[in-house]
Structure 1
Amino acid sequence: MSIVVPVYNEQLNIEKFYTEATKAVQNLDMEYEIIFVDDGSRDATPLLLSRLTQQDEHVRALLLARNFGHQLAITCGMDHARGDAIVTMDGDLQHPPEMIPQLVQYWREGYDVVQTIRKDTKGVGFLKRQTSKWYYRLLNALSPVHIAPGGSDFRLIDKRVLATFKLFREHDRFIRGMIDDIGYKQKTVDFVAPPRFAGKSKFSVRKMLHFALDGIMAYSKIPLRISFYAGLVSAFLSVLIILHALYSSAVGSAAPGWTTVIVVICILGALQLMFIGIVGEYIGRIFEEVKQRPLYWLRAELGGRGEPEERNR
């Protein structure tokens, strides 16, 4: 089994996570490896990972050359995983390591994907709960791929699923949607996420908005269609305003027209800018894909295979 753990500035959580994860898998009667993927940390995280790889041959560390983001860090770990079953989870202990044996049990029963569903997160405020709930409603309304509300990147997948996942090489990744889209025999497991063991979440508002946008843009063309239909509605309203202006002029009750002109300009200008932005998002993603750059590159690989080595993917 391979356990893939993306980390970014998690020096306060690394050793605790390692202890808890090792305790959870030692009695499973299977070989295992813990793959930490350092996503360009600026604290002591790489140093701690280096020590762990020297102390325990089950630990590997992939050090990315810079910060590529959570989803690409997970992808890097999955690309390098060698297990028959691959578990992905965060290293802040909000994905409880003690659940790993339960995921493995369902895998042994024949499930190819065992997906955890976060029913609640201790210590999270009302606003974040509500925005998360409405985001998944919006995403499922726009996308043909259903994603379970509360879905997380804490899951187990079979090596057959991993082989299929590796065929998907787009840069703007929404792995929750990708795994659901791949199919195979799936099982869901509910859990309540505990508070972070230490430190603060690295998901800023900007990162969360970008992640949410990736989820919508990656699996839906509906925003483009909304743009088209809104354009039609806008054109229809413009015709009505023109007819109203002509009628007012014909009966001699026309006002100077300043208000009407300003309203029309504001409405049409706002619609145009908004939909140009939507089209621009899609064009920008096309631009990124056609360059065919590697998804990530490593500055070092520690543990498991001896000497550090340079790798690009």
Structure 2
Amino acid sequence: MFSNSEDDIEISVVIPLYNEESNIDYLFERLTIGLDNLNINYEIVCINDGSKDNTLKLLLQHHYSNPVIKVINLSRNFGKEAALSAGIDFASGAAIIPIDADLQDPPEIMGEMINKWREGYDVVYATRRSRQGDTWAKRFTANLFYRVIGQISHVQIPSNTGDFRLLDRRVVDAVKQMPERTRFMKGIFAWVGFKQTSILYDRPPRYDGITKWNYWRLWNFAIDGITSFSLLPLKVWSYVGLILSIAGFLYAAFLIVRTLLFGIDLPGYASLMVVILFLGGVQLLTLGIIGEYIGRIFEESKQRPIYLVRELYGLPKTYSLNEKVISSKK
């Protein structure tokens, strides 16, 4: 069901897309069937994140044939987190549901999310019970990441949970107040709090195409998450430095006592080189971690918009602190 009034929209489904032409037709087929069966007023907000294939063309075809589908065309590829932020900024529903375009997030469980929302929950996140199609290495590293960030973050971030969740309008408005440019949305969704619950689902493999998330991108994504929601990587080196200083002092005292009392002269070239290389490595690692945080401070200080919008289709021309609209098309 679709209403022309934005005030009547109950659910906004937000979909970031980057080179997903092979999934679009089946995605909308499953989405519209599932949402129509729920008998609710809804909109589908699609964000074309600088795709190089026919993603935008197919999105516009569906938009012109079905006004429930609205399109945000970004000026270039800003990344999934920025594209998701754009969708959140423009979505007008009483609640929004971010979902991936590869159909690894099954639209059929959105009804269960909505039921939980109507019970009074502000956030209903979908937790992966199984991850079909993922390699053992990806499953292992994902579990390791969630364990690490769960231990060092001051915010409890749900494990095995992506962006697929329902967010009440109050939560959406709180998220839109978050000004940071380096965005780790899973952490932001957890940071705002509110009344949260989860549902379980089995995550299927991609419907078609290949994932854009290689191990290098996943590594950088993990670094963004850790540095955005924990200061422990900075604090830990104070303790490491203290321990190394104490160890160095004790070892120096041992050598002095050994030489003075027993007259044993310890040849020191090899041991000296080992100590120098070890301490040099520790210092470089420490500088690298400090550099990560300083780099993020530098990015934030420039106050650049999170994304730029080239065209809007089916959406009003609006502005926010996070974006700038270059042109707008109905």
2:299 is aligned to 288
Q: Which runs of 4+ in 1 moved over 6 A?
A: none
Q: CA deviation at 1:304?
A: 4.1
2:308 is aligned to 297
1:273 is aligned to 284
Aligned residue pairs total 310
Write the mapping of 1:1-313 to structure 2, written as runs, cut at 5 A. 1-250=11-260, 251-305=262-316, 310=327
Higher mean alpha-carbon deviation, 152-161 vs 102-111, is at 102-111
Equivalent pair of 2:308/2:326 in contact (CA under 8 Å): no
Higher mean alpha-carbon deviation, 245-254 vs 217-226, is at 245-254
Structure 1: stretches of 5+ with no match in the other structure: none
Q: CA deviation at 1:171?
A: 1.2
Equivalent pair of 1:57/1:304 in contact (CA under 8 Å): no
TM value normalised by structure 2 = 0.90
TM value normalised by structure 1 = 0.95
Distance in structure 2 (CA, Å) of the matches to 1:147 and 1:226: 21
- Find the residue that maps to 1:213 and give its secondary structure: helix
TM-superposition CA deviations, 1:258-297 (whole Å, max 9, x none): 1111111011111111111111111111111111110110
Relative to 1, partners in 2 of residues 1:309 and 1:259: Cα closer, same or farther, differing over 3 Å?
Answer: closer
Q: CA deviation at 1:147?
A: 1.4
- Find the residue that maps to 1:105 and give its secondary structure: helix
Equivalent pair of 1:60/1:304 in contact (CA under 8 Å): yes
Equivalent pair of 1:54/1:303 in contact (CA under 8 Å): no
Q: CA deviation at 1:116?
A: 0.6
Structure 2: stretches of 5+ with no match in the other structure: 1-10, 318-324
Matched letter for residue 310 of structure 1: S
Matched letter for residue 272 of structure 1: Q
Equivalent pair of 2:127/2:198 in contact (CA under 8 Å): yes
Distance in structure 1 (CA, Å) of the matches to 2:41 and 2:80: 26
Distance in structure 1 (CA, Å) of the matches to 2:182 and 2:254: 47
Matched letter for residue 34 of structure 2: A
Distance in structure 2 (CA, Å) of the matches to 1:80 and 1:304: 8
Equivalent pair of 2:133/2:206 in contact (CA under 8 Å): no
TM-superposition CA deviations, 1:140-190 (whole Å, max 9, x none): 110111112101100111111111110002111111111111111111011
Overall identity of the aligned pairs, in %: 38
Distance in structure 1 (CA, Å) of the matches to 2:229 and 2:17: 27
Matched letter for residue 129 of structure 2: K
Distance in structure 1 (CA, Å) of the matches to 2:115 and 2:158: 22
Q: CA deviation at 1:309?
A: 6.0
- Find the residue that maps to 1:226 and give its secondary structure: helix
TM-superposition CA deviations, 1:9-54 (whole Å, max 9, x none): 1010011101110111012222111111111111111111111111
Distance in structure 2 (CA, Å) of the matches to 1:212 and 1:203: 12
2:7 is aligned to none
Q: CA deviation at 1:245?
A: 3.6
Distance in structure 1 (CA, Å) of the matches to 2:315 and 2:64: 10
Distance in structure 1 (CA, Å) of the matches to 2:192 and 2:267: 61
Equivalent pair of 1:35/1:81 in contact (CA under 8 Å): yes
Query: RMSD of the TM alignment (CA)?
Result: 1.6
Distance in structure 1 (CA, Å) of the matches to 2:168 and 2:250: 59
Distance in structure 2 (CA, Å) of the matches to 1:68 and 1:119: 30
Distance in structure 1 (CA, Å) of the matches to 2:117 and 2:326: 32
Higher mean alpha-carbon deviation, 193-202 vs 28-37, is at 28-37
Distance in structure 1 (CA, Å) of the matches to 2:326 and 2:279: 56
